A and B are shown apart, each in its own frame.
Chain A
Amino acid sequence: MRPTIVILGLILASVALRSTASDPVGRPDGLPVVLETRFRDSILPFVQKNCVACHSGPKKKGDLDLSVFQSTDAVVKHLAQWEVMLEQLESGAMPPLKAKEQPKAEERRQVIDWIKAVRREEATRNAGDPGPLPPRRLSNAEYDRTIRDLTGVDIRPAQEFPVDPSNGAGFDNSAESLALSPALLTKYLDAAQKVADHVLFATEGLTFAPYPVISDTERDKYCVRQILDFYKRQRTDYADYFQAAWRFRHREALGDSGITLAALAKREGVSSKYLAAIWDLLSGPQEEFGPTAAIQAMWRDLPGTKDTATTVRAKCEAMRDFVVELRGQLVPEVKNLTAPRMSAGSQHMVLWKNDQMAANHTRHAPTGPFKLKLVKLAAISAAAQALTVPDEDDAKKTYEATFSRFCGVFPDAFYVTERDRPYLSFAKERKQSGRLLNAGFHSMTGYYRDDRPLYDLILSGDEQRELDRLWLDFDAISGAPMRQYTAYIWYERAETGFLRGVKAFEAVRAEDKDSTSERKMKQFEDILLGQARATGASETVLKAIMDHFKNMRTALRRTENARRAAEPKHLASLRSFAERAYRRPLSKAESEGLVAFYRQLREKDGLGHEDAVRETIVSVLLSPHFLFRVEPAAPGSGRQPLNDFALASRLSYFLWASMPDAELLARAAAGDLHRPEVLLAQTRRMLKDDRVGGLATEFAGNWFDIRRFEEHNAVDRERFPAFTDSLRRAMFEEPIRFIVDMARNDGSALDILYGQHTFVNGVLAKHYGMPEPKGGPDHWVKVDDARPFGRGGILPMAAFLTKNAPGLRTSPVKRGYWVVRKVLGEKIPAPPAEVPELPSDEAKLGKSLREALELHRADKACAGCHARFDGVGLALESYGPIGERRTVDLGGRPVDARAAFPGGGEGSGLSGLQTYLRERRQDDFLNNLCRQLATYGLGRSLLPSDDSLIEEMRIKLASGNNRFSALVETIVTSPQFLNKRGDVNLSKDTTR
């Protein structure tokens, strides 16, 4: 029995650590006299006779010294140690079998009863004690989620951290276990720098990018994406507008009488400004000929409301196709600008052409109207008729003029997102795609904004301002104009040779920090203009050069000004960042200190603005106010109410494993969060939020011991090729999604055991033999009745079945132990060290596992424990080593899932097990669920004084249909959760 003693020693050692901090809330009178007397008369003699020989002195077994317990005061003070004694006495593990003499059963009973009585006494006396809750460091999981909610991007720096130890109950969110070391602090420093590398210096304040944005290319990528996303959000499909206009025409028939055009646009999600323009054109005065007449003819031709929506849509799309085809044939051609010896790829030349092309979006080529070839238009239609070129010259002129209005309403493009190099031949450039928002330079940085039609025709005033801001942010964040200008210098130097031999040009260098100063720009402009004149460039070219310099100057100065103007806003961002990082308002001194630190970095350490901001962010993320959940001490004795900000953090770390959101902080700021109705309303809101995934993952993941399942590598993938990374990921997600669903929809806690439903994605459905839902691995569906596939509830989920199987065989022992120990909460001593190992491969086992286990149980030393769980595991034998359903084992023997359950009763398979649990163990399960959730929610091991909370949870659960919310609500409104132990040594004025 040695191994048991060693394990016990470990347990006691941790208990001893804990008990030093668990001095209860004040100590009025001692125990009732009857307990005091019994301690003297029988307990003390019992301990001295049976225990102290081993558990005392320098060689005390299990690091447990029982000789110190000479009074009941000592017992009460270290009650946790006595609770371990209680377990040992009850299970018969102590005194050990090899002891010379065993106590009489009656004596043992007496001690057991006495400890229980003392515990009850203590539990009642201190009921609701908040317990010891020192500042808690964020766990790794909390750290990652907090960074995610703080920055808005999921950086997950904690992946590099050492694994957090868990407390006795298996959770890693309690102060008892969350220590801090210099090694971890170094990791925090690295992580903080990593996060700071994501900060973007936008004109309105700091934001964070999903990847590090230190380098120009990464900043460009981010800003380009922002602008493209904006473009993509806009509705620019002509068919949508035609359809909306049609709806407006038939508003009465469609039951929308009285709706305005603007209201309809809003409902349809299209631009009201542009819909008005389209409506005016379509329903305005009928034109005689030309493109407007053509589209009006098609408009008149649209079906009424009797036709199906599909028909209407198809006709609207035909109108669109007509416009697109027509517009494609009207685009004016712009010839390259040329000058002797000058490269057509020089910035001023390329941009001149870009400008012409951009201006042409709403113009037509003069000859275009006379050589149309519209293949999509039915030749005999009225629309085709309208586009027949008239014979007479005067009529021709009128005909051509009609194109102007049309092209003004229907641009050939609303915006351009990709540009090849327009000065090269189209054929050569066609394949060069992916140059987003590019100016089309050769080998030079340069972006070009070409969205005038969108801006003028579609965007509202607010949207115009947003788009302007995005472009300004692009320049300010990435410094693109500066780079474009220095690239200009480089290009003229290294690529064109246009300035060959111009001595003065040698002094114009891209490398110079002041290369964008007015003086140096003028110098370059003069050199370029001088050489252009000398080589006979046209006035257009000279003007293109001057325009380019003018535009570059504007862009550069605008960018510089925007950057300067943004600096105070960045400081304001820093303050609000710190405030949210600390999860409470900053004091005046803190706020000033933060800015002072930034100034010190700039002035004393010589850092630039960006470095200083990043470094200030590092200091915030390394601050104890961020890394620890510090609850200000409450002066006085007994329990003292927590302030609302600390309460907000308790709530959010319980339900989301992350920081409070804006609403929660607002309630805390309003000072009413502690009011029960506010607290419960917030709790309900939070349970419905997606972030409740934090609770599911951290609470259920740790409770069920699968938190690290994504690293589970015990499966032989050659024998089980189905076990891919994506299946493993899906297996892990299944129980998490199950719990999230239970929390969000307030399901019954009993569904964990008996639920008929589960959640699958494609790969998991395949594994379970269910119809596979379409969509990628992120597409999950609820299967309402999974029983026909042998699933439903937590027990038959592949993650648990796989985790508790050693690879090439199942393990009824491990599975049974998992159900009994983890799910039902039964305490079972660890096995002795010399337990014989079963072969690891079921195929190589001479007999079935069932038979092997029967032999094992024949050994009396093993039977005591194994009888408590083997049967439970055997009922799950129809699931193979990776949780797949099976009828024969790997050795080809038929699977038998019949089982005799602990404490009596027989059954077979999952349903047999569920019946057994329902009839005999449901109480165990609910009790355990309450204890586990309370431990997690309070962030500490439970104390005897928490017994009343558990009782109340049970009562609420029973009266509330076993709804999950009953559990959560009982915890968050408990005195434990709302209070903190007071500290008599503190006076009011030393605390905030």
Chain B
Amino acid sequence: MNSNSKGPISRRTFLRGAGVAMALPWLESIPVWGKPTVVGGVPAAFPKRFATLFMACGINPDHWWARGAGAEMELSRVLEPMAPYRAKLNVIDGLFNKNATGVGIHPGQTGNILSGASLQRGAELRGGVSMDQVLARHVGQESVQPCMVLGCEQPVTGYHETNFSMAYSSYISWQSATSPVPMEVYPSLAFDSLFDNRGQQRHRSVLDRVRGEAASLAGQVSAADRARLDEYLSSVRDLERRVARARSEQQTAEARGQNRDRPVATMPRPDNGLPEDIRDHMRLMCDIVALGFQTDKTRVATLLLCRDISGLFYPFLNVGLAHHLASHNDRSAAYERVSRYYVSQLAYLTSRLEAMPEGDGTVLDHSCLLFLSNMFSGSRHDSSKLPLLLVGGLTGALQTGRVIDYRERGDDNRKLCSLYLSIMDRMDVRLPRFGDADARLADL
């Protein structure tokens, strides 16, 4: 079947979709899915979430600026889509990633954007663990998916002229120094990973099979010999119960939501295959991130809106060239439209989270969204400073509505990894150093 066909929905797809439409927001779901919301009369703290949205090849440098603070903040044309949320926005200027400078263009500027590591040229991949994966290992352990790593463009391999692997252009999320995190580009599968744990389903099949084997085996050994096999059988049953419990808890949550007629998180399962239109693709991925955050299925998400040296086309913006080629003329009106389009994706995700009430605020108030690119100017392949936005206050841990400029503070005081340390602090993950930084970012 053509993966893009929009034929009748299969029963399986329908069931999956139906199940998910009932997923509950965090507050409702916690009592059945995890820790009690209320401990001794004190509500448990809201989970803090973090998402990265990456755009490649820089922005239009002439139209990337902001002035003033709070509701009075003045925004450039490219940043304009963020206007409704300026009180919850921080525009950070002048940060850079030292190891992504002086190493040639493109892959060397990209593969370490979340790790600050120095990248190795040639056939063997070597970089560093990215900060989203560090967060996943800490805060992510509380949720179904420690981290969602999504992309709207397929990764590529091969070598760039700088002799860096193109894998560095395709992956910003790294689970170890040598392995990037496989990126999910299919919205349907990203959706499944949150709500219909395929791993669990598979485990059930395997457990079912080996339990059968053990039972038949028990009949073939003497009574005296059976004790060890019984131990095995009860261990298998124990694991099965755990898998079953996870499922039944989800069903309970769904039923509760139905009975109370609460506004539950609803989203039908996306179609198989890739959306024809990149606008649909990006929007679906943002929806999935929002849903994952709202239902506390995940607390960390990384979304590669496009890959470095991207081949995405934007006919709807009346831009004739693919992304990468368009970025070589980054001061053009066309690339301004491209840049604004990407900021509007951030605005869209922001709007989704802002529309999700949680306690006295919204999910956005308990989150931090990071938008960044690997260059400031694509025509000059300039990564001496990066365009960077933060949205959301992390439950008051992060002051918002500000424009902070680090350009004139000296290289030691404008490290991207310092920002990561500061953000991780605010997510209660305190590290002495990360990447090339051992100090927090001043004045954040």
- Which chain A residues have a beta carbon within 8 Å of chain B's beta carbons? 21, 23, 132-137, 175, 178-182, 184-186, 189, 214-217, 220-221, 421, 424, 431-436, 438, 441-446, 483, 486-487, 489-491, 493-495, 497, 500-501, 506, 509-514, 593, 597, 600-601, 605-607, 611, 615, 618-619, 622-625, 627-628, 630, 632-633, 981, 983, 985-986, 990-992
Contact = CB atoms under 8 A, between A and B. Distances in A.
A623 B213 contact: yes
Interface string B194-235: 000000011101110110011001011111111111011011
B321 interface: yes
Given A217-B167, A985-B223, A986-B222, 8 more contacts: A175-B228, A216-B157, A436-B123, A445-B156, A494-B309, A494-B324, A494-B325, A625-B213
Given A180-B232, A186-B239, A601-B202, A135 B309 contact: no
B296 interface: no
B158 interface: yes
Contacts of B166: 443-445
B182 A215 contact: yes
Contacts of B158: 441, 443-446, 487
Contacts of A135: 221, 225, 228-229
6 contacts: A180-B228, A181-B235, A434-B122, A445-B166, A597-B205, A990-B219
A438 B122 CA distance: 12
Grouping DSSP codes into helix (H, G, I), strand (E, B) and loop, the A interface class, with mixed when no group exceeds half, is: loop
A615 B207 CA distance: 11
A174 to B, nearest CB: 11
Contact of A630 (B207, B217, B315): B217
A991 B218 CA distance: 11
B205 A494 contact: no
A137 to B, nearest CB: 7
B239 A493 contact: no
B232 A493 contact: no
A948 B87 CA distance: 88
Contact of A624 (B122, B227, B229, B234): B229
Residue from the set B3, B185, B217, B221 with the largest chain A CB neighbour count within 10 Å: B221
Contacts of A433: 122
A628 B226 CA distance: 12
Contacts of A511: 153-154, 185, 274
A500 B274 contact: no
A72 B231 CA distance: 34
Given A443-B166, A600-B205, A514 B2 contact: yes
Contact of A497 (B125, B224, B321): B321
B311 A619 contact: no
A619 B205 CA distance: 9
Residue from the set B201, B210, B219 with the largest chain A CB neighbour count within 10 Å: B210
Interface in B159-214: 159-161, 163, 165-167, 169, 179-180, 182, 185, 201-203, 205-207, 209-210, 213-214
Interface residues of B, number: 67
Interface of B: 2-4, 12, 121-123, 125, 153-154, 156-161, 163, 165-167, 169, 179-180, 182, 185, 201-203, 205-207, 209-210, 213-214, 217, 219-229, 231-232, 234-236, 238-239, 273-274, 309-311, 313, 315, 320-325
Contacts of B321: 497, 500
Contacts of A992: 220
Contacts of A137: 228, 232
B263 to A, nearest CB: 32
A494 B311 contact: yes
A134 B205 contact: no
Nearest to A221: B123
Given A493-B322, A494-B323, A444 B3 contact: no
Contact of B156 (A189, A443, A623): A443
A615 B160 contact: no
A619 B206 CA distance: 5
B364 to A, nearest CB: 30
A923 to B, nearest CB: 36
A377 B185 CA distance: 62
B311 to A, nearest CB: 3
Contacts of A619: 205-206, 209-210
A217 B219 CA distance: 47
Contacts of A491: 311
Residue from the set B121, B157, B201, B309 with the largest chain A CB neighbour count within 10 Å: B157
B221 A632 contact: yes
Nearest to B125: A217
B325 A623 contact: no
B228 A605 contact: no
A490 B155 CA distance: 11
A442 B169 CA distance: 13
Contacts of B320: 500-501
